[in-house]
Amino acid sequence: MSDSHEPARSRPDEKSIGPLVRLAGPRQTVADERMRRVKAAVQAEWHRQQRIRSRQRALRWTIGTLAAAALVLVAVRLRDRDAPAGAPAARALATVDALSGAAQVISVPGVGPRGARIGDRLQVGDRMETTVGSRAALRLAGGASVRLDRATRLRLVADQAMVLEEGAVYVEAETSHSGVPLEIRTAFGVVRDIGTRFEVRLQGPALRLRVRQGLVRLLQRGETHDVRRGEELMLGSDGRVGRSTTPVDGPDWTWVRALETAFDIEGRSLREFLEWIASEHGWQLRFADRAVEEKARTTTLHGSIIGLTPEEALAAVLPTSGVEHRLERDVLLIRSNTGEAKD
């Protein structure tokens, strides 16, 4: 028998809940501005921690790989000093760069799916899957960015090559350093970038290709279709091709922004910030004159824009840098805010 001194609990009955809650009155609300300030600071710290953890994971992976490689080397030498070197360790083709919701990585051979984490390294044969509630972004070894929309399945098959099995991807390939064009392979044909930003979407019995910037080439049964900025191409399973124009910004592109990786402005130039924001929107960046361009190149930014929308970020950064912006269709024009721009 227990001799516990646990006090008896007196639960208010159902009828008392209403009067009790009304007696307490509404809970104090927090001003939006206050909430946004704190959120920006906490999110910045959280991102910083992500980067630290990602570096630590990469370091552990490297040490582990080196240790494994050393063991293999010793084993091979003991077995047969004249034997040819074994196959090189699988190289990472891509890294998980951003996540929204729970995505999965399925590795070969036969290893079950695992929850994706920022900084995960993907190799040949790995498959990335997003659910109806998640999205993910990969950074390829060559520098290109590939964002996966909801309910997407993508398999890495080679350097700069992947198979889109389901869903949609948005590719930002102009940062590729390898010189090898990036390819998105589908059941309909192969989409090859030529320095650009585009979306490939499998829509039922058709493939939709929309180009936000640059030029994309679709190779299909020996035919070549070039698609340019502001164009959309629909390719049906019967091989029929339809073309139309498409806006390069707006609601259809909103999902891409959901995976926007936070841009840390601290110590970066104004030009870098403007290039980033233009790329996120599919805008073309233009300076009113050389003096403004030079100012953008030499101005160093401080602080944080995390938590701000792109429009808010522009409004926060530009006035303190002595410039202003105007958006004319899809062109982000930057000019001095001290007077009229020179030609």
> Does 4 engage in binding with another protein (CB under 8 A)?
no
Among 2, 3, 11, 81, binds another protein (CB under 8 A): 11
Q: Between 18 and 109, whose beta carbon lies closer to another protein?
A: 18
Tell me the helix, strand and coil percentages in the chain, rounded to 5: 30, 30, 40
**One character per residue 25-54, x = contact with another protein (rule: CB under 8 A):** xxxxxxx--xx-xxx-xxx-xx--xx--xx
Q: Which part of the chain contacts another protein (CB under 8 A), choosing from 9-17, 153-161, 213-221, 229-237? A: 9-17
The per-residue DSSP string of 103-128 comes to -EEE-TTTPPPEE--TT-EE-TT-EE
SS3 92: coil
State the burial class of residue 49 (Cβ atoms within 10 Å of its Cβ: 0-12, 13-18, 19+).
Answer: exposed
> Does 15 engage in binding with another protein (CB under 8 A)?
yes
Minimum CB separation from another protein for residue 34, in Å?
Answer: 5
> Does 116 engage in binding with another protein (CB under 8 A)?
yes
> Does 254 engage in binding with another protein (CB under 8 A)?
no
CB atoms within 10 A of CB 61: 14
Residues whose CB falls within 8 Å of the CB of residue 246, separated by 6 or more in sequence, listed in order: 210, 211, 230, 231, 232, 252
Binding residues for another protein, total number by CB under 8 A:
55
Minimum CB separation from another protein for residue 258, in Å?
Answer: 8
Alpha-carbon gap, residue 131 to 122, rounded angstroms: 18
Among 146, 154, 162, 259, binds another protein (CB under 8 A): 259
- Contact positions toward another protein, by CB under 8 A? 5-12, 14-31, 34-35, 37-39, 41-43, 45-46, 49-50, 53-54, 96, 98-102, 115-119, 133-134, 258-259
